[in-house]
Chain A
């Protein structure tokens, strides 16, 4: 209901705004050159300021390659990139601004502006590999202060392609966004964002997130394709007093060497009123869908409907933690995930892509999907409906083993302050689902299939209060002959299996 209302007002505002942006300005008339060599930062900035001062309009980039450093988008200005027009980074980190308010570097900034956007069929190319490595060189020469985390410049010291902060009515449509040195595009505390029909192609350097929505209100992301080295569609909450809410993600395809659809990791305020429909995730190293409430924020009223997850390392991972909560109580409740088909491979799903995901948390066999709260912060009211997941099975207990004895189950660490990742516990005792510290879980018409025999049961519950399993189907070679118990309960109560 919330979402519907938002959608109506949102689209109304956007269409109104669109009709206002009538005037087109040819960027080359401002002396900007699309020769791929000339650095146009100052001239593009002048053009944006001029258009903003003259009632707004579209700054049109015709076919060509336009090199630039940091520019600031201003109210009423749309950057329109025509087909074969590319806005390209200079690759010199000294051409980029680290904005004082935003505390990050970016190619296209906007702060405190409204009615802005980037449209067209052209592209933005951050040339991130070169820019990041140039930055690294300057840091190592002692010209730029950065302690280097994991031998990389810290994320804010590498330019993103787009960083909008506290803006209203943003339109991002049609464009291709490539290869930043850091995250691709961040919308931070913005209101009313439409992202439609964009392509993200970004495997140029570490932390190449596809899209990051931070503490925004009113977001539509649809008809878009993401291929990124880090998380592809990522919602974050950096401010404990803000919240990321009223979000629609529809008809998107993603590929990642981290997670597909992710809420978190930074989750100080939280996320609510989210509807994700018709999502395809493939060749993805970590989870297709993951929700993390590890910094005291809330996650509530989430619907994920219609997911195809092909060749992904993990399917669903829900996690409450207690990392940077600072006394706040993390909450995760009212989550519905339905109509999911997923295939988990035996091998590395992102093998061969640039900047492959790190091999870590070994030894472990293929990890199950998981819903893991904390003893005092429980995940509540999760419904999984019409779901089929195909696992490879075939775990090797001599390589890694966690059995079903109380000691073994109790020995699984709680890890409240650790970075939440589906593999964080190393080996888990189930091959299909592992549930812990969760209340009110419903599995309706869920099929779990292991292609090979696994030493573990399909589902393990530890400290679960109230669960309903209806129309469950579990397939594993030789399990019926051995009458293997596939749903295992430990310290749990009120479990119904129909």
Chain B
């Protein structure tokens, strides 16, 4: 074992304490807690002392042992290091950074970060004020602390950003480790103004862009873009008004986003946060109000996947989806716990699983999801957008303890950048589990679920019956962008299931507030569908609420 410096010890210690505190605060709800321990295990391997451990197979026994070892180790460290543990703190003013909201501080802030980084790490402290800046690059062992009232304010000039990089953002980092943004302050990207300036430069021909959908396809800055970083923490802050996805964490290992707020309806594609191919992630206690998907997992690299992720105690609002897997899903996702989250005023699905690019979604555990005034509750969909990648797959999804109210009117009315009105004509869409011919969605368990739909569809406006020719006419759309509304009118008001196998419903209640011309559930070309204690409630005269077509082994038990 090589000698470790005092600084390294400090950092290690800080990390461990941080992890311990976080873990203590979160008692895993899932009975099979492998994912949680596994993530702990993977994190501790970052530290040089435990390097030998990662060769041990993570059996249940070893995991427990590791944990014990870690705790003991931590205890020892705590006894040993009774001195101030964080790196040094630096006032922003030390570097000539100005809080007047007018001085462009890009170079001063960058100098500060570089300096602190070279000194071995520490915290750059921003106190109350408005700090105008362009792109800054965060470096290893540096913490940006935005105290209450401090605003890191994005320049409205597009040329102040790293637009030639693939990772255009106000705060950017690549290949850094142990980086943190914390405090009760604000990052405000001024995204609308930045986007307008970019559009202006495009119209004048200075910047080349096709303006697809009349928006710049590239160069719109995010607020935060961390790529290939380890040990990242973003805590407490409010992130506002980006020109693109608000936060991107891409191929990071060890990510904590805790107690932050996102308020971003500044421009198109304002995803609240995009977690791309990250491992060992905790998204906890956040509030997100975003014009595009609120919490979004993506997989851009065919050789990368997202895994070991905890999403817990978040409240989100979106003019797209609340919690979403995809759209781009090249590699896949494994071992996610999505626990105790609330979605409201959301235009599309409260939770959406989309795998249209050859990647997989598997071992996902959703527990305690509450959705109010949402356009759609649950949507699972694989596809085959890019032929050479083959179809995507969805397997082993558990969704339980869900309460959802589906909106009769547009749920995101009067939010800025409302979701687009499209796929018309259609009546209120059902939840969907829609696989592909030859690649069904498999092993989905839905338990303890109550969904209230408005019902009241009008067959003269849009109609899809349950006759074979009606059902056969529903297009496959394997290569289309997956969205709950993509098929326009569907033949059920509650659940539409097609190309799925081994789906179980247990203790599920679907309620239509007004009579609907469609049955509650249509099962088409599926196998082994079990319905236990499933209740359909709809006013008006009794009708057949479960319709099966070309399916095997659909069993309904009281």
A-side residues, CB < 8 A to B, are 137, 140-141
B543 within 8 A of A: no
A377 to B502, CA, bound (A): 104
User: How many contacting A-B pairs (Cβ < 8 A)?
Assistant: 7
Chain B proximity of A354: nearest CB distance (Å): 11
- Identify the closest chain B residue to A133 (Cβ): B200
B30 within 8 A of A: no
Q: Which residues of B181-206 are within 8 A (CB) of A?
A: 200, 203-204
A143 to B203, CA, bound (A): 11
5 contacts between A and B (CB under 8 A): A137-B200, A137-B203, A140-B204, A141-B200, A141-B204
A137 to B201, CA, bound (A): 9
DSSP class of B's interface residues: helix, strand, loop or mixed? helix
Q: Which residues of B251-265 are within 8 A (CB) of A?
A: none
B200 cross-chain contacts in A, Cβ below 8 A: 137, 141
Which are the 5 A-B pairs with shortest beta-carbon distances? Answer: A141-B203, A137-B200, A140-B204, A141-B204, A137-B204
A141 cross-chain contacts in B, Cβ below 8 A: 200, 203-204
A95 to B254, CA, bound (A): 51
B203 cross-chain contacts in A, Cβ below 8 A: 137, 141
A137 cross-chain contacts in B, Cβ below 8 A: 200, 203-204
- Identify the closest chain A residue to B201 (Cβ): A137
Q: Which residues of B166-223 are within 8 A (CB) of A?
A: 200, 203-204
A interface footprint on B111-133 (CB within 8 Å = 1, 0 otherwise): 00000000000000000000000
How many interface residues does chain B have, given as a range?
A: under 10
A140 to B203, CA, bound (A): 9
A140 cross-chain contacts in B, Cβ below 8 A: 204
- Identify the closest chain A residue to B204 (Cβ): A140
A140 to B200, CA, bound (A): 10
- Identify the closest chain B residue to A136 (Cβ): B200
- Identify the closest chain A residue to B197 (Cβ): A137
A137 to B206, CA, bound (A): 12
- Identify the closest chain B residue to A134 (Cβ): B200
A141 to B203, CA, bound (A): 6
Chain A proximity of B420: nearest CB distance (Å): 22
Chain B proximity of A183: nearest CB distance (Å): 26
B204 cross-chain contacts in A, Cβ below 8 A: 137, 140-141
Chain A proximity of B193: nearest CB distance (Å): 10
Chain B proximity of A106: nearest CB distance (Å): 25
- Identify the closest chain A residue to B199 (Cβ): A137
Chain A proximity of B202: nearest CB distance (Å): 10
A328 to B200, CA, bound (A): 48
A237 to B151, CA, bound (A): 50
- Identify the closest chain A residue to B206 (Cβ): A140
Q: Which residues of B397-443 are within 8 A (CB) of A?
A: none
Q: Which residues of B227-250 are within 8 A (CB) of A?
A: none
A129 to B73, CA, bound (A): 62
- Identify the closest chain A residue to B203 (Cβ): A141
A471 to B204, CA, bound (A): 65
Chain A proximity of B206: nearest CB distance (Å): 10
Chain B proximity of A434: nearest CB distance (Å): 42
Chain A proximity of B197: nearest CB distance (Å): 9
A49 to B204, CA, bound (A): 40
Chain A proximity of B469: nearest CB distance (Å): 52
A137 to B198, CA, bound (A): 12
Chain B proximity of A391: nearest CB distance (Å): 36
Chain A proximity of B162: nearest CB distance (Å): 24
A137 to B199, CA, bound (A): 11
Chain A proximity of B89: nearest CB distance (Å): 34
A141 to B205, CA, bound (A): 9
Chain B proximity of A148: nearest CB distance (Å): 13
A113 to B49, CA, bound (A): 87
- Identify the closest chain B residue to A140 (Cβ): B204
A141 to B204, CA, bound (A): 5
Chain A proximity of B76: nearest CB distance (Å): 60
A137 to B204, CA, bound (A): 8
A141 to B211, CA, bound (A): 15
A137 to B200, CA, bound (A): 7
Chain A proximity of B192: nearest CB distance (Å): 13
A78 to B204, CA, bound (A): 42
A260 to B115, CA, bound (A): 50
A interface footprint on B277-291 (CB within 8 Å = 1, 0 otherwise): 000000000000000
